[in-house]
């Protein structure tokens, strides 16, 4: 299968679905990770241009470990808006990849970037097959969309789980690539990166009856019989 992860910031896919993406990779699926914003707000002292360059290289390192193609859309961090520009960009991105599955944000979270990216991804996915909607790449079949967990699991009730017990150590490596964000989370929120993902993975694991798990919601769309069913690993 072709799998596309769409995260608002560099590190989001790794934090919220890194173990699942690793399972896809291990079984030989073709992975692409799209980072929507440039991450320029993510440091207490470094200027925007410098931290953006750092975060892009951190994202590339994570994708290299995962064996994923990287897409860098470059929207401004904390200023992602749902508009015609972003809609066309998302439709063309999905058409470029031609995924069977998309994993993205649950569009009901206090971060405007997370909410906007999740909504735009889901809305764009439903129209990628329309011939009259012209973008650089041609139409493709409508993919299945899954919403990934919210930060610390707040306000998110999964309807499906993926056992990531065997890939949790790899998930920690993916998250650890984003060293600048470890500093940022500790400075801004008093949060330890690895402790955060371990607590949430154990919490979801308890719900799923395994050691470590990640939670998802499968998006259900009317008339889309070709994308029903479970496509998580």
Specify if 226 maps to a domain: no
Looking at the domain assignment, is residue 133 inside a domain? yes
Report the SS3 class of residue 69.
strand
Report which of 226, 206, 204 is spatially closest to residue 217, judged by C-alpha positions. Answer: 204
**pLDDT-based confidence at residue 227 (cuts at 50, 70, 90):** low
Residue 30 lies in a domain: yes
Report how far residue 66's alpha carbon sits from residue 64's, in angstroms, rounded to the nearest whole number. Answer: 5
Q: 27-78: per-residue pLDDT in tens?
A: 999 999 999 999 999 888 899 999 999 999 999 999 999 999 999 999 999 9
What proportion of the chain, given as a percentage, has pLDDT over 70? 96
Tell me which H or E stretch contains 148: strand 144-148
Cα end-to-end distance, the chain, whole Å: 10
Please tell me whether residue 154 adopts helix, strand or coil conformation: coil
- Per-residue pLDDT tens over the stretch 70-127: 999 999 999 999 999 999 999 999 999 999 999 999 997 768 899 999 999 999 999 9
Instruction: Point out which residues pair with 2 in neighbouring strands.
Output: 30
78: CATH: 3.40.50.10320
Asked if residue 231 is part of any domain, the answer here is no
Judged against a pLDDT cut of 60, whether residue 226 lies above it is answered with no
β-sheet bridge partners, residue 131: none
Structure confidence by residue, pLDDT tens digits, 152-208: 899 899 999 999 999 999 999 999 999 998 888 888 778 898 999 999 999 999 999
Give the pLDDT confidence score for residue 129 in this predicted structure: 96
Per-residue pLDDT at 111: 84
228 has a pLDDT exceeding 70 = no
Rg, the chain, Cα only: 17
Q: Greater confidence, 222 or 217?
A: 217
229 in any annotated domain = no
Is 170 among the domain residues? yes
In a domain, 152, yes or no: yes
How far apart CA 210 and CA 208 sit, in angstroms, is 6
Q: What is the mean pLDDT of residues 130-134?
A: 97
| Bridge partner residues of 162 (DSSP) | 214
* pLDDT bracket for residue 229 (50, 70, 90): low
Give the domain extent around 200. Answer: 2-221
Whether 222 has a pLDDT exceeding 80, the answer reads: no
Domains identified in the chain, total number: 1
User: pTM to 2 decimals?
Assistant: 0.95
Residue 53 lies in a domain: yes
């Amino acid at each position: 299968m072709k799998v596309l992860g769409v995260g608002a910031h560099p590190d989001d896919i790794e934090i919220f679905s890194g173990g699942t993406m690793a399972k896809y990779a291990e079984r030989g699926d073709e992975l692409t990770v799209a980072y929507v914003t440039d991450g320029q707000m993510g440091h207490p002292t470094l200027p925007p241009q410098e931290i953006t360059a750092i975060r892009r290289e951190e994202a590339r390192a994570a994708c290299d470990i995962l064996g994923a193609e990287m897409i860098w859309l470059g929207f401004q961090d904390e200023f992602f808006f749902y508009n015609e520009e972003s809609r066309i960009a998302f439709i063309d991105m999905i058409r470029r990849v031609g995924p069977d599955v998309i994993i993205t944000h649950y569009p009901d979270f206090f971060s405007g970037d997370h909410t906007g990216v999740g909504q735009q991804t889901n809305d764009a996915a439903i129209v990628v097959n329309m011939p009259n909607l012209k973008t650089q790449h041609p139409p493709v079949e409508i993919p299945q969309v899954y919403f990934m967990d919210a930060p610390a699991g707040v306000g998110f009730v999964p309807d499906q789980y993926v056992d990531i017990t065997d890939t949790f150590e790899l998930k920690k490596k993916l998250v650890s690539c984003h060293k600048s964000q470890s500093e940022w989370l500790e400075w801004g929120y008093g949060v330890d990166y690895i402790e955060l993902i371990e607590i949430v993975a154990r919490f979801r694991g308890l719900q799923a009856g395994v050691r470590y798990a990640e939670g998802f919601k499968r998006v259900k769309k009317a008339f889309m019989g070709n994308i029903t069913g479970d496509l998580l690993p």
